[in-house]
């Protein structure tokens, strides 16, 4: 295995500032790439693509063939966890993920016993990726955070305000806690298995951390994420973890302190000065270009890229978007983005 310092992104997660920030892009294997669209068509469906190691490896590597990125992120989805627990999940073109909404009785029917068996194809993808990636490339595994995954499981689909899950958590706190306990347990198992299969670092995607008051944020975001990090490190001491609490706003410093993540992903709505002045100087940060600026390109992108680089020049920094790349993104703009980062 290559020394940690050869994998620049992993080294940054572990707190080593680089001469220029390493870069990867959330959803870098995605619909903005024509080769991805062709591979997904060949797979026949999104979950089939996630569960077919040969094809999942192919789409994971596609962006690295085009761009000088410092990391590959496993191609999968946060909703393979409810699928593995026995909740029916499907992906409809134009609608996104659709699930059979859970109630309290449905939570009690979830089956934890075969989760890793169900996800064996994903773990095989991780093993194949580590074997094929150059030694200097960091391999990122991931899972969805329990609150974020629960919002889909309870509502049956994504929602702008997570109303159904927020209401369920308040009205049926015991059933909600049972669901969170299940998700914490299987997430620890899943992330540990990814690291054992060859991932260098894992990211916890808390995509729906917004719309929660302080008490709910502490209970539904901080507490389960803390349990995942602690449980993972009981299995794998010093396991490197990136936390991405999108929409955490004023709770970002509390999240970092409570959870013990190595690095903190910053969404694009977080003001640069606020991040600089709020987070400890030693804490690595990741982010945070607005994906729309990458779509528009030109000065709208260039100026903000330079501002982000300047804002985080004195700390360990991984350059990324503040959320996932969108299908409308021109490939030439991604090339320009990486050129700007490499130039410093």
Q: How far apart are CA 134 and CA 112, in angstroms?
A: 35
| Catalytic residue from among 32, 36, 40, 51 | 40
Known catalytic membership, residue 40: yes
| Catalytic residue from among 6, 77, 136, 302 | 77
| Catalytic residue from among 17, 20, 31, 66 | 31
Q: How far apart are CA 46 and CA 83, in angstroms?
A: 13
Give start and end residues of each alpha helix (H) in the chain: 8-13, 34-43, 46-50, 53-66, 80-85, 104-109, 115-118, 120-132, 146-155, 163-171, 173-197, 214-217, 223-235, 252-259, 272-278, 291-296, 298-311, 331-343
Known catalytic membership, residue 267: no
User: How many whole angstroms from its chain centre is CA 212?
Assistant: 20
Q: How far apart are CA 89 and CA 97, in angstroms?
A: 7
- How crowded is residue 306: how many other Cβ atoms within 10 Å of its Cβ? 14
Cα pseudo-dihedral 289, 72, 153, 38, rounded to 10 = 100
Q: Look at the alpha carbons of 41, 46, 51, 54 in this order and tell me if their dihedral is positive or negative.
A: positive
| Catalytic residue from among 7, 27, 166, 227 | 27
CA separation, residue 30 to residues 39, 219, 294, 324 (Å): 10, 33, 15, 9
Known catalytic membership, residue 77: yes
Known catalytic membership, residue 227: no
| Catalytic residue from among 32, 36, 152, 268 | 152
Residue 227 has φ and ψ, to the nearest 5°, of -65, -35
Known catalytic membership, residue 336: no
The residues that are catalytic are: 27, 31, 40, 77, 152
């Amino acid at each position: 295995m290559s020394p940690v310092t050869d994998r620049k992104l992993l080294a940054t997660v572990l707190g080593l500032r680089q001469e220029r920030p390493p870069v990867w892009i959330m959803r870098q294997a995605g619909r903005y790439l024509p080769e991805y669209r062709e591979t997904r068509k060949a797979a026949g469906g999104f979950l089939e693509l996630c569960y077919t190691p040969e094809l999942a490896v192919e789409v994971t590597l596609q962006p690295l063939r085009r761009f000088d990125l410092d990391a590959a992120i496993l191609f999968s989805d946060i909703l393979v966890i409810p699928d593995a627990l026995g909740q029916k999940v499907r992906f409809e073109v134009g609608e996104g993920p659709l699930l059979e909404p859970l109630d309290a009785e449905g939570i009690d029917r979830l089956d934890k016993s075969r989760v890793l068996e169900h996800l064996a194809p994903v773990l095989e993808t991780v093993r194949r990726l580590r074997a094929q990636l150059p030694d200097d490339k960091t391999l990122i595994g991931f899972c969805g955070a329990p609150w974020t995954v629960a919002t889909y499981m309870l509502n049956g689909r994504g929602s702008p305000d997570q109303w159904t899950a927020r209401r369920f958590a308040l009205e049926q706190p015991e059933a909600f806690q049972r669901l969170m306990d299940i998700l914490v347990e299987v997430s620890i198992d899943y992330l540990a298995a990814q690291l054992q299969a060859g991932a260098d670092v894992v990211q916890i995607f808390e995509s729906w951390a917004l719309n929660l008051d302080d008490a709910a944020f502490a209970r539904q975001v901080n507490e389960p994420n803390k349990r995942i990090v602690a449980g993972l490190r009981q299995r794998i001491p010093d396991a490197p973890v990136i936390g991405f609490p999108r929409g955490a706003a004023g709770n970002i410093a509390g999240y970092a302190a409570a959870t013990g993540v190595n690095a903190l992903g910053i969404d694009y709505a977080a003001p640069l000065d606020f991040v600089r002045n709020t987070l400890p100087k030693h804490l690595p940060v990741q982010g945070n270009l607005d994906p729309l600026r990458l779509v528009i390109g030109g000065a709208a992108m260039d100026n903000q890229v330079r501002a982000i680089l300047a804002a985080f020049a004195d700390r360990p920094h991984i350059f990324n978007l503040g959320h996932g790349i969108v299908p409308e993104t021109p490939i030439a703009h991604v090339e320009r983005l990486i050129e700007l980062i490499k130039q410093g």
